[in-house]
A and B are shown apart, each in its own frame.
Chain A
Amino acid sequence: GAVVSQHPSWVICKSGTSVKIECRSLDFQATTMFWYRQFPKQSLMLMATSNEGSKATYEQGVEKDKFLINHASLTLSTLTVTSAHPEDSSFYICSASRPLGVDTEAFFGQGTRLTVV
């Protein structure tokens, strides 16, 4: 299957600082990438859809000014958590979709554990 690389795997930052998480599709071009958030023992919640060359589409309840998404190329999307606070501590996972005719398949990064202290 295709490979999606997410970096960093874990990060600890001070409250009030910003953190950038990268998501790269290594062997295919992804016109669309997705960012999910996962709280402990819970499912993945879609935060936003990132489209190459255009603004991201955020799900209801997600603060777009806090979670900045940039999809500058067909292989890279970034999520920046601005002015992070302890409640932003979570597991963030990206996925990249590769359309296969009428079908599609999403490939996931390994996730980023963010801890805000």
Chain B
Amino acid sequence: AQSVTQPDIHITVSEGASLELRCNYSYGATPYLFWYVQSPGQGLQLLLKYFSGDTLVQGIKGFEAEFKRSQSSFNLRKPSVHWSDAAEYFCARGGDYKLSFGAGTTVTVRA
């Protein structure tokens, strides 16, 4: 079965520092890949998505992600983190309109 792995359960980063969240997907055809952010008690907001084409994808809020087929990865990055970026981040893989989510990474931002 297709799956998504987020190796890091929790990451703490200083405000202004860079952030990288890891995401790996299981072997398969070129996947549809997504990153979502969830604030406490809220639904999910799409940050960015990859379907095909340029492997470096720009998203909202200054996020970007790079698709690397050789590593089966789709890591999310942000050069300079703001306190408002503290949230839960989910990587997801799409297929047949359904999404399979990773376990999520909690990001804490310290002043």
What is A's interface to B at a CB cutoff of 8 Å? 1, 4, 6, 32, 34, 41-44, 46, 49, 91, 93, 95, 97, 99, 103-111, 113
Q: Give every chain B residue within 8 A of A6 (Cβ-Cβ).
A: 43
Interface string of B75-103 (1 = CB under 8 A from A): 00000000000000010001001111111
Q: Is the CB of A93 within 8 A of B97?
A: no
Q: Which segment, of B13-21, B44-52, B66-74, faces chain A?
A: B44-52
Q: Give every chain A residue within 8 A of B90 (Cβ-Cβ).
A: 43-44
| Closest CB in chain B relative to A101 CB, distance in Å | 10
- Taken together as a complex, chains A and B put the C-alpha atoms of A76 and B45 apart, in Å, by 20
- Taken together as a complex, chains A and B put the C-alpha atoms of A27 and B106 apart, in Å, by 32
- Taken together as a complex, chains A and B put the C-alpha atoms of A95 and B67 apart, in Å, by 24
Q: Main SS of chain A's interface residues?
A: strand
- Contact flag A111-B41 (CB < 8 Å), given A49-B98, A106-B97: yes
What is B's interface to A at a CB cutoff of 8 Å? 32, 34, 36, 41-46, 49, 51, 90, 94, 97-104, 106
Identify the closest chain B residue to A96 (Cβ): B97
Q: Is the CB of B94 within 8 A of A104?
A: yes
Q: Is the CB of B43 within 8 A of A46?
A: no
21 pairs, CB–CB < 8 Å, chain A vs chain B: A1-B46, A6-B43, A34-B98, A43-B101, A46-B100, A49-B98, A93-B43, A93-B44, A95-B44, A99-B97, A103-B32, A104-B32, A105-B49, A106-B94, A106-B99, A107-B46, A108-B43, A108-B44, A110-B42, A110-B43, A111-B42
- Taken together as a complex, chains A and B put the C-alpha atoms of A42 and B45 apart, in Å, by 17
- Taken together as a complex, chains A and B put the C-alpha atoms of A94 and B78 apart, in Å, by 28
Q: Give every chain A residue within 8 A of B44 (Cβ-Cβ).
A: 44, 93, 95, 108
Q: Give every chain B residue within 8 A of A107 (Cβ-Cβ).
A: 46
Q: Give every chain A residue within 8 A of B98 (Cβ-Cβ).
A: 34, 46, 49
Q: Is the CB of B99 within 8 A of A34?
A: yes
Identify the closest chain B residue to A4 (Cβ): B43
Pick the contact of A43: B32, B34, B97, B103 (CB < 8 A).
B103
